[in-house]
Amino acid sequence: MSKRRTSTKGFARTGKLLQKSIRSVGETRGFAQTRLLTHWAEIAGAHTAAIARPVEVKYGRDGFGATLSLLTTGAQAPMLEMQKENLREKINAVYGYSAISKIRITQTAPTGFCEGQVSFEPAKPPAPEPVNDPVIARAASKATCTVQDDGLRHALETLGKNVLSKEKRNVQT
């Protein structure tokens, strides 16, 4: 029987390489299964994942059922409070049994101590500064005056303004 050749050529998936590290970090926070952390948006839904994130799972002394702590902002906490039971059912469906018996909501400001410094939305790139220098605008317009297509000419003119203004800023500093 011939030996099966692998198609990975010695490479491994990132998830496989990081699985042990993620599991150990998750277990320190009480997450026996890291699926709750890694697939939070799929489990909770996009809207809930945008306003809250799981922080900790604590197992009580009585044994069965744990308490899941969710971090959210103060303004979103009442909305999340109304969704707790539905969210608990979704999470327990992932575990396959009633692993989570309670959900505790922790409110915090978008910035603050340790865990509160987490932003729930990805950072937006800064908007480019408009170029108001008439000399730069004339130079960019002159360089693109032969372009026939209006959309392309406008895009090239904007690019030229940005490049020339950046060069001017670099010379001044």
Phi, psi of 19 (to 5 degrees): -55, -45
- Distance between CA 29 and CA 68 in Å, rounded? 10
**102 pLDDT above the threshold of 70:** yes
Residue with the bigger pLDDT between 150 and 121: it is 150
Helix axes 134-143, 150-172, angle to 10 degrees: 140
**1 pLDDT above the threshold of 70:** no
DSSP letters along 56-96, please?
EEEE-TT-S-EEEEEEEETTTHHHHHHTHHHHHHHHHHHHT
Of 96, 168, 85, 84, give the one whose Cα is nearest residue 132. Answer: 168
Residue with the bigger pLDDT between 78 and 131: it is 78
Q: What confidence tier does 30 reach under pLDDT thresholds 50, 70, 90? A: very low
pLDDT digit string, tens, across residues 50-69: 888 888 888 777 666 788 88
Q: What is the mean pLDDT of the chain?
A: 76
Residue range 135-151: average pLDDT? 90
The CATH class of 15-117 is alpha beta
- Distance between CA 69 and CA 12 in Å, rounded? 34
Q: What confidence tier does 116 reach under pLDDT thresholds 50, 70, 90? A: very low
Q: What confidence tier does 137 reach under pLDDT thresholds 50, 70, 90? A: confident
**2 pLDDT above the threshold of 60:** no
Domain boundaries, the chain: 15-117, 134-172
Quote the tokens at residue 45. 């839904």
In contact, 60 and 100? CB cutoff 8 Å: no
| High-pLDDT (> 90) share of the chain, % | 15
Q: What confidence tier does 83 reach under pLDDT thresholds 50, 70, 90? A: very high
- Distance between CA 99 and CA 94 in Å, rounded? 9
Residue range 128-144: average pLDDT? 81
- Distance between CA 154 and CA 160 in Å, rounded? 10
Q: What is the CA radius of gyration of the chain?
A: 26
**71 pLDDT above the threshold of 50:** yes
